Amino acid sequence: MPKIYVYLGIVILFYSNEHEPIHVHGKFQGCESKAEIIIENGKVISIVIQSVKGRKGLSSAVLNDFKVFVESNADKIVEKWIDYFVLHKQVQCEIIDRRIK
């Protein structure tokens, strides 16, 4: 389960047995939501935030931070997905403790 970012305490990760479409999970204090990255013709066209079955979702404030982060870093997340799942490379976790505006 590669952790790819920690943003304001939100752990953003892939599960090792993931499937397409490209998505990341955001975990914070026992709660979890996921963000699906929709790509068309090689470009990110939208981000869809979803709940995770059997898990309590992120609170609205944390969910908003998660969404802003994923929207701002979608291209980098896609690169990390390709590195990990397609090219079988290790991915490094980046810690970001400044709020994205």
Tens digit of each residue's pLDDT (9 = 90 or more) over 57-75: 999 999 999 999 999 999 9
Q: Which two tokens stand for residue 2?
A: 């590669």
Q: What percent of the chain has pLDDT over 90?
A: 88
Q: Cα dist. 20→15, 46, 97 in Å?
A: 12, 15, 29
Q: Please state, in angstroms and rounded to a whole number, the distance separating the CA atoms of residues 35 and 39.
A: 13
pLDDT for 75-92, tens place per residue? 999 999 999 999 999 999
